[in-house]
Amino acid sequence: MSKDLIFETSDREKLHISAFGENNLASKKYLIFVHGFKGFKDWGFGPYLANYFADKGFFVITFNFSHNGIGDDPVEFSELDKFAENTYSREVNELSELIGSVKSGFFNGVIPEKIGLIGHSRGGSISLLSASKKEEIDAVVTWSAVSNLDRYSERQKEEWKKKGFFEALNSRTNKMMRMNYSLLEDLEKNKDGKLNLERAVKNLNKPLMIAHGDQDLAVSKKEADQLYEWSNKEMTQLFILNNTGHTFDIKHPFEGSSEKFDKLLSATNNFFQKQLN
């Protein structure tokens, strides 16, 4: 069972939240799942992983970033205008505000003792950037995370600047999804500051698990190796799953779990049970 809520940010944007395991509030162990690019809280494995960790004793929070393109329909991109206006800094700010609110008792006035982050793909990077600045976070797990937010060639950037937008194909819906030039401006302005992943990982100083499929065609395993290279090896675990890709053999709409995803869930649970107790 889940409960749906809305969190309003400081700039009056709304984050749609689903909370799982309300009976676990008393345990004061929270997990927050952070979706990636073209992702959303109800994509594929989202509700399944939330129920899984709730069954393991955690209070679990999944949410949609305000500009991820999902509106009132929880599984369709109906707000492509907002998607176009999204930036990396916006996502870091929204996650940071949500973390602060959770720590202040947003859920029934309960103050968590421990909070862990799970971030998938770009959400893994946003999690690392936020956690490096937020003392409230006690441990982080990344799934298929990128090590570099700048994923565009110089030619693409020139075309982006000239047109004022860049388009990416959503292979699931077969629709083009526009990103305005403000996304690239944000990256170039903050790549050496708040969006510097190398610095964030090196300064994390928290238990970290980096999970990746060795057949990931969307985000190469080399990016997991890069994150691990930057990390404090005494506090970091690198978990590579063989013969699986970016979503660990999970599809949307959800058709059931997979052997690889079950292994990932088990390893992630073992990590958090150790680090959040």
**pLDDT tens-digit series, residues 200-258:** 999 999 999 999 999 999 999 999 999 999 999 999 999 999 999 999 999 999 999 99
The residue extents of the domains of the chain are 2-149+196-275
Q: What is the pLDDT of residue 226?
A: 98
Q: What is the pLDDT of residue 276?
A: 98
Q: What is the pLDDT of residue 1?
A: 83
Contacts with 163 (C-beta within 8 Å, 6 or more apart), sequence order: none
Q: What is the pLDDT of residue 173?
A: 87
pTM for the structure as a whole: 0.98
What would the CATH number be for the domain defined by 2-149+196-275? 3.40.50.1820
User: Coil, strand or helix: which one is 276?
Assistant: coil
Residue 224: phi, psi to the nearest 5? Answer: -65, -40
Alpha carbons within 13 angstroms on the beta-carbon side of residue 163 total: 13
Torsional sign, CA 89, 92, 95, 101: negative
Residues of the chain short of pLDDT 50, as ranges, are none
Torsional sign, CA 167, 198, 191, 70: positive
Q: What is the pLDDT of residue 123?
A: 98
